[in-house]
Amino acid sequence: MLFNKERIHEWTTDQLFASATLGTYQTCGICIPFFHNWRQTFTTVTCHPKAFEHILRTRFNNYPKGPTWKNTFHDHVRGSQGTVDFTKENSGSRLSKLKLIPTLYNWVNPTIKNGLLPILDKATKQSISVDLEDLKIRFGTDNIFGLALGKKLKTLNTQVTPEDELVALAIDTTIKSFFKRLFYPNFVLNFMRFFSIGSEQSLKKSLQVLNNYITESLEERNNRNDETFDDYDFLWTLMKKVKVNGPGHILSSSDIMISTIVDILLGDHNSVATSASWFFWLVMNNSHVGKKIVDEISTILKKNGGKDGDGSKITNSIESPCGEETQEWIEEPLSYEEINSFVYLHVTLLETLRLYPSFPRIVRYVTSDDILPGGTFLDDICVCGEDFLEFKPERCLSDDETKIERREDGYMIAAFNGGSRTCIGKYLSFLEMKSAASAILLRYKLCPVLGHQVVPKPFFTLSMKNGLKVNLKRRDLAAIL
């Protein structure tokens, strides 16, 4: 593992592929006397969907995140741990369904129109390449701050305010500092924490910046009237929960609310960007997939008669829209109804998440002895078929390719965790990815920069080590209609 630390994700995949059961293997680390519990050095590594379901749903109480996770993130999880039930039962449903439409029109679409597309238009006119992963990270950061706090950052703007730049840097530094903790022995990490040196000093300053920013947002909300709220951000959801349940509610402490918001900001900082970047890379390397997606977008636009979100007419000719009418199509991002109509684009994103999940490792700690389905060694060779390493979006399509077909093994894709631990931002993530992907692919042809190497980076998320450098060219819509 040490010799492969720069390609740890690929190395782990190789080990799983080479294992006797093609999906599960057991290993052990080095136990240092007085510093490690020898039982904690034994590790079971699996990518088998049945094992995922057993761990994440069937016996999830037996598989907590464990001491390593708590030791790494202890700075801000002390309060947020108390909000698990609220997050799962209340905010999950609110974020997953009720808030999708206002989120699209209040945060996502304005960021696409006023932030993302102007940068791509400028790059196209000047014939310069762009780092699509960097743009998507900034796009996701702006959106998650708007959704979480009702105060959207503007990191995609050409003139970023010093405050926005400081907060965005604090998010990035915090995540990197947490990641570095995984490589320090506990006694070294405790020494760095006590004297506040190295990455621990940077982490302390960054968390303070985030706490101050969230506290200011909390104070602003307390000073405004209830009637002024029509934007449905997560902070306001938490505050209303406290008001309804009274001062004794678990969320009454502002520290707990701040910790919960920090969790959301850190979790969504670059996870959507990571998935979207691998999606674009796969589409660029599989031109037939890109063509099918563009055809689906144009078909939906023609089927809707060129009507925008409020139902106003954009085009008069559904069958054969003229050049002027197709130009009007691309002036605004797609509506919620249009985004929700995608089938092939959605299964392409599912296939991307199967091959390149945002969080490639889900770490769990066993509290009591257990046996995985089928015993220690799982019986099934591969639930995805012999072509499981291939990029094949049709894997989740019905035979007539008109609807998404739910596989019997629902844990084939565990990018959003599962069971009661399913990510509360799952549907919002799909909304962001589909909105941005349709907006970009409808307007531009993408091709990778010659000689640019795309490889995973050893990190919490499956980010790209060198980014995703692409060249853009305006798409001729008349040629595809």
From CA 327, how far away is CA 321, in angstroms rounded?
A: 10
Handedness of CA 435, 438, 443, 445 (dihedral sign): positive
Q: In what order do the strands lie in the sheet with 444-448?
A: 130-131, 469-474, 444-448
Q: What is the distance between the alpha carbons of residues 388 and 169, in angstroms, rounded to a whole number?
A: 38
d(CA 90, CA 71): 28
Q: What CA dihedral angle connects 75, 78, 84 and 90, to 10 degrees?
A: -90
| Helix/strand/coil (H/E/C) assignment for every residue in the chain | CHHHHHHHHHHHHHHHHHCCCCCEEEEECCCCCCCCCHHHHEEEEECCHHHHHHHHHHCHHHCCCHHHHHHHHHHHHHHHHHHHHHHHHHHHHHHHHHCHHHHHHHHHHHHHHHHHHHHHHHHHHHCCCEEHHHHHHHHHHHHHHHHHHCCCCCCCCCCCCHHHHHHHHHHHHHHHHHHHHCCCCHHHHHHHHHHCCCHHHHHHHHHHHHHHHHHHHHHHHHCCCHHHCCCCCHHHHHHHHHHHHCCCCCCCCHHHHHHHHHHHHHHHCCHHHHHHHHHHHHHHCCHHHHHHHHHHHHHHHHHCCCCCCCCCCCCCCCCCCCHHHHHHHCCCCCCHHHHCCCCHHHHHHHHHHHHCCCCCCCCCCCCCCCCCCCCCCCCCCCCCCCCCCCCCHHHHECCCCCCECCCCCHHHCCCCCCHHHCCCCHHHHHHHHHHHHHHHHHHEEEEECCCCCCCECCCCCCCECCCCEEEEEECCHHHCC
423: annotated binding-site residue?
yes
Residue given tokens 């599989």 in the structure block: 286
199-222 vs 132-149: helix crossing angle, rounded to 10: 40
Q: Are 417 and 361 in contact (CB under 8 A)?
A: no
Residue ranges for the known binding site are 423
Residue ranges for the known binding site for heme are 423
